Amino acid sequence: MYPHERSLVEEMEGEPFALVGVNSDDLERAKKAVEENRLNWRSFQNSPEGAEGAISDDWRVSGWPTVVILDETFTIRYRGHDGDEATRVAKELVAKLKARN
């Protein structure tokens, strides 16, 4: 998924779009993944040291990767595991938002 996500971030640059990742790796492995895969988006540890709970618990994530698409009102418009469908929904939302503005 990394190449797809990386190209999507590049394609959507300047648009009302943000990709945010959550990873379940330990800190060193996560840093290595960012470097090796040239990740160009923010990524947070699922359960960082000192956190009261895991992000995956708050968002009810039961499998990795799970993609969640939010609209401008933070309403979930897609939740699932299909990167192509998630991309389609995200691009559609951006196009509708741009058409209104």
User: Rounded to whole angstroms, how far apart are CA atoms 31 and 5?
Assistant: 17
Coil/strand/helix, residue 69: strand
Confirm if 33 and 55 have CB atoms less than 8 A apart: no
Give the closest residue to 55 by CA, choosing from 73, 64, 28, 85. 64
pTM for this predicted structure: 0.83
Positions in the chain whose pLDDT score sits under 50: none
* pLDDT value of residue 47: 86
* pLDDT value of residue 99: 93
Q: Tell me if the domain spanning 2-100 has CATH number 3.40.30.10.
A: yes
* pLDDT value of residue 49: 76
Coil/strand/helix, residue 71: coil
